[in-house]
Amino acid sequence: MISLESYRDIVGDDVISYLHQLADLLRGRRVVHVNSTKVGGGVAEILQRLVPLMQQLGIDADWKVIKGNDDFFKFTKSMHNALQGNRLHIPKPLFENYEETNRENAELLKDELKEADIVFIHDPQPASLIDFFPKRKGKWIWRCHIDISKPQRSIWKYLRQYVVKYDASIFSTVSFAQPIPHPLYIIPPSIDPLSDKNRELDDEYVLRTYKEFGINVDSPIILQISRFDRFKDPIGVIYAYKLLKKPVPALQLVLAGGMADDDPEGQIVYNEVRSVAEEDKDIHILLLPPEANLTVNALQRGADIILQKSIKEGFGLTVTEAMWKAKPVIGGNVGGIKIQITDHHTGFLVDTPEGAALRIRYLLYHKFKKEEMGRKAKEFVRRNFLITRHLRDYLTLMISLLYFAKDRIEL
């Protein structure tokens, strides 16, 4: 386990001392996080790192994962898509199955959740758990990781009936916040600079990783790492690449991704991507297992240009991960990506494949500028998006709910 002390060199003494001071007020408190997948996606990524650090600070922290059948995850994925703005009709039995699944999970988790001082419920999948704990002891917080700025109203209305029962909600950016009659907190996610996904790697490891996938490191490489999900726009990335293939014939595209346990659409999108890529030998579609953290790290370090061309994005940890490796990212001009990339300064925000192609070309031909932007990007992450800042925000929030409770809007 990585000790909190190891972060001193990266974030400084003051940050570590402050975390200890805050945690003293929470020593021995029972804190439970609940989400719907142990692996895959940003939420699991964060909880894997955050929960052990809370424990090191003397907090009795735990992480539970709810279980569900195929229909449950089909429903929650549809709900996720509708909350992010797609118009969908979801059949009534799927709503009933969602409620029933959370009832079963409530039964399984009843001892942990009833007595907890603080419960963090992540995203819509477990949101209706709260209905089954009318006599809860602690404060319950709904932590929303997705972009619900323009939801399909009927689905938001359905979810909102549960959300209003919580003591507080957390959103990643101000633009996602919805009118809810309880305190709203704005806490962006974070990355762990010492995890296998982000720690320093030697050049030889990076080169070997690319070689093992049969990718030529002497020719330019564009990379996007994402679950196979339409909101990540892998097809748009392929179009951007194709626009550049004529002027830059040596260009290679790497689309690397895996599947999350709670995402039933991954395989379909993966097949679509393969078919749009056709037989182009310079497009490398890599299906990565969930534990491929060092591989992701090496791919990010070795790429010339990193894209995250999402068309909806709650935050996009992959953007911060790449920026931490001193890469300017070309990101979709949406959601949480907008608070990470300062356009033209630490990367570029784009709306179309054409825009992405233009910026890729610019960075390929302006190496000095690319390095300068990369350095600024890394510094921006150090100040804003490391796990120590995230931990501080959560500790402050817990203290405010347990001790002062009222009238706090933002950390």
Q: Which residues here bind ligand UDP, judged by CB under 6 A? A: 41-42, 45, 197, 225-227, 256-258, 288, 296, 315-318, 321
Least separation, in Å, of the C-beta of 125 and ligand UDP? 13
Nearer to ligand UDP, 336 or 353 (CB): 336
Least separation, in Å, of the C-beta of 131 and ligand UDP? 26
Nearer to ligand UDP, 16 or 288 (CB): 288
Nearer to ligand UDP, 117 or 263 (CB): 263
Nearer to ligand UDP, 42 or 183 (CB): 42
**Residue 142 · residue 121 · CB < 8 Å:** yes
Nearer to ligand UDP, 122 or 139 (CB): 122
Least separation, in Å, of the C-beta of 226 and ligand UDP? 6
Please provide the DSSP assignment of 8-60 as one string.
Answer: HHHH-HHHHHHHHHHHHTTTT-EEEEEES-SSSSHHHHHHHHHHHHHHHTT-E
Least separation, in Å, of the C-beta of 288 and ligand UDP? 4
Least separation, in Å, of the C-beta of 193 and ligand UDP? 13
Least separation, in Å, of the C-beta of 313 and ligand UDP? 7
Give the Cα separation of 354 and 240 in Å (integer).
6
Nearer to ligand UDP, 139 or 232 (CB): 232
What single-letter amino acid sits at 43?
V
Distance of CA 151 to CAs 205, 266, 312, 336, Å? Answer: 43, 22, 12, 16
Least separation, in Å, of the C-beta of 221 and ligand UDP? 17
Give the Cα separation of 29 and 398 in Å (integer).
10
> Taking the mean position of all CA atoms in its chain, how far away is CA 169?
17
Nearer to ligand UDP, 188 or 355 (CB): 188
Residue 85, token pair as written in the block: 């703005």
Tokens 């370090």 correspond to 301
Instruction: For residue 181, count CB atoms less than 10 angstroms from its CB and return exposed for 0-12, middle for 13-18, buried for 19 or more.
Output: exposed
Q: Of all residues in this chain, which one has the CB nearest to ligand UDP in the complex?
A: 42
Segment holding 63, helix H or strand E: strand 60-65
Q: Which positions ≥6 away from 15 have C-beta within 8 Å?
A: 7, 388, 389, 392
Residue 322, token pair as written in the block: 């790449």
Nearer to ligand UDP, 197 or 301 (CB): 197
Least separation, in Å, of the C-beta of 50 and ligand UDP? 13
